[in-house]
Amino acid sequence: MFTRIFMTLVIMAVLQFAPAFAQNRNDNPVEAEFPDQYFPQNQPEVNYMKYFPSVWTTYSSNPGRNADFPLTKDVPEILRAGVKWEFAGAGALPLEGAPLNNSIITTAYGVGMPVGASVVAGIAYIGSDNGYTYALNALTGKLIWAHYGWNMNMSNPIVVDGRVFVSTGSAYFNYANTMLYVQGKRPTRGPGLNSLYALDARTGKKLWVYHFAGEAMPTAAYEDGYLYIGTGDGHVYKLNAATGKPKWISDIVSFVSMSSPVLGGNYLFVGGTHPNFFYALDKRTGKVVWRMTLPKLVATGMGDCTPAYSDGIVVQQATVQSGDPRMPVANVLLALDAASGRVVWKKEFSQGVIPPAMKTATPMIADGNVFEGSPVTGNYYALDLKNGRELWKVHLGAQIRAGAVLDKGILYVPYKSGDIAAIEASNGSLLANKHIGGAFGPSSPVVVGGTLYVSNIYGWLMAMPISEILPEEKIAAEPSMH
């Protein structure tokens, strides 16, 4: 009798504290090498979940791309003060170490968490180029589940209705498609398994998967039960979020690199490459309403930048040739009328050398202004959304590919040198510069209460109190919470 009771207690303990692999049991011996993991004991406490965002429907949470979530005064002290933890994905590098093969690109494509986290209901969801999607307790950083997607995951997970949607793909061309690209013909970008997965938000269990002919590196956009995404096969897809079945597939010819689409009014906006165009599609039918381009575009042109939308204006960055052999390129910021594609204003930033890999940054719109960095010069800008008037610029030095988050009048900007700048949004004053280590790519940060969440291309997701970034006198002068 005692033996039976003892064994029962042992089994219960194992079930409680061991990974719950059984929920994703698969007899495929290849998939068994990369098992999904589930640690139910690391779920967030229910009483904390309500203080976090409840959904995440687009890149950086909203069309303006400002992922800022202030809290009311009655929240628990831990959320107001901010939490601190670090999570290293599989293969992550030491933050103060050298990149793989001394190459930032190799590092980013091997182990990086390039795009940033989605923080919903007490859980931080993050994609990694090691193939995994991770779900972490947003207060403790402990792993809740991990799902392997069989390709790079450069998407900002979409979280809605108890499901997580993540897209996968690679930045490469196989030999045949490289030759097509060189010959000016239509290529398909992204060898390997290119997919959009629907996962259970609580357990990570796969609900459905849709496979594309080309890479699906961008983040999808969700609205009214449908997902929208552009891919490396030159198409834009509208999929039923419950089933994964296509509503329409639009052939735009241009392949989409890292341009995560944005919804605004009746339109879906996305950038494409080869040919280089920025597109507006009717979100109901998939028909191209308008498209526009610029002369002398560099490399992936319109297809790399994730646009932002606000007040009938869509903002997109591109990189153009300058004609100066010493400083051959410049970033250009465009503000377009959403309905017609008319250029409302165009701002060409300073010239510089050609940056490796991704050559654009993600614009962010807040409080009637556009905030944007330059990978070419390392300058960060504020411009008036309506007329493009430059309000200020600050030189950070290293390349800037990330968006920013604006919280209580202060911008937090991660950039390549492994630093996070704190900038006064009203005048561009550089308040602080916190060194984290590693390097930041296009990762847009998130602020929930007193915590900033940010990922980097060394394979880390970090949560830190904002008080660790700002000088003490600035914290004391901050206005009270809403």
**What is the tens place of the pLDDT at every residue in 184-215?**
899 999 999 999 999 999 999 999 999 999 99
pLDDT band at 301 (very low <50, low <70, confident <90, very high): confident
> What are the structure tokens assigned to 235, written together?
């198409």
What is the extent of the structural domain holding 303?
A: 2-477
pLDDT digits (tens, 9 = 90+) for 367-419: 999 999 999 999 999 999 999 999 999 999 999 999 999 999 999 999 999 99
Amino acid at position 132, single letter: Y
pLDDT at 22 over 90: no
Q: Tell me, what's the pLDDT at 472? A: 67
Q: Is residue 399 part of a domain?
A: yes
> What are the structure tokens assigned to 143, written together?
């792993």
Placement of tokens 């419950």 in the chain:
242
Q: Is residue 482 part of a domain?
A: no
* Mean pLDDT value of segment 97-119: 94
pLDDT at 38 over 80: yes
* Mean pLDDT value of segment 147-159: 96
Question: For all residues of the chain together, what is the average pLDDT?
Answer: 92
Number of domains observed in the structure of the chain: 1
pLDDT at 241 over 60: yes
Q: Which of 381-385, 431-435, 470-474 has the lowest mean pLDDT?
A: 470-474
Single out the residue of 313, 252, 36 nearest to residue 150, CA to CA.
36
Placement of tokens 């398994």 in the chain:
193
Percent above pLDDT 90 for the chain: 86
pLDDT band at 240 (very low <50, low <70, confident <90, very high): very high
Single out the residue of 188, 192, 167, 163 nearest to residue 178, CA to CA.
188
Q: How far apart are the C-alpha atoms of 311 and 313, rounded to whole Å?
A: 6
Q: Is residue 374 part of a domain?
A: yes
pLDDT band at 67 (very low <50, low <70, confident <90, very high): very high
Residue 340's alpha-carbon distances to 267, 319, 337, 348, 369, in angstroms, are: 11, 22, 6, 22, 21
Q: Tell me, what's the pLDDT at 30? A: 61
> Would you call 101 exposed, middle or buried from its count of C-beta atoms within 10 A (0-12, 13-18, 19+)?
exposed
pLDDT band at 72 (very low <50, low <70, confident <90, very high): confident
Amino acid at position 252, single letter: I
pTM of the full structure: 0.92
Q: Is residue 137 part of a domain?
A: yes
Q: Is residue 273 part of a domain?
A: yes
CB atoms under 10 Å from CB of 266, counted, come to 14
CATH number, domain of 389, equals 2.130.10.10
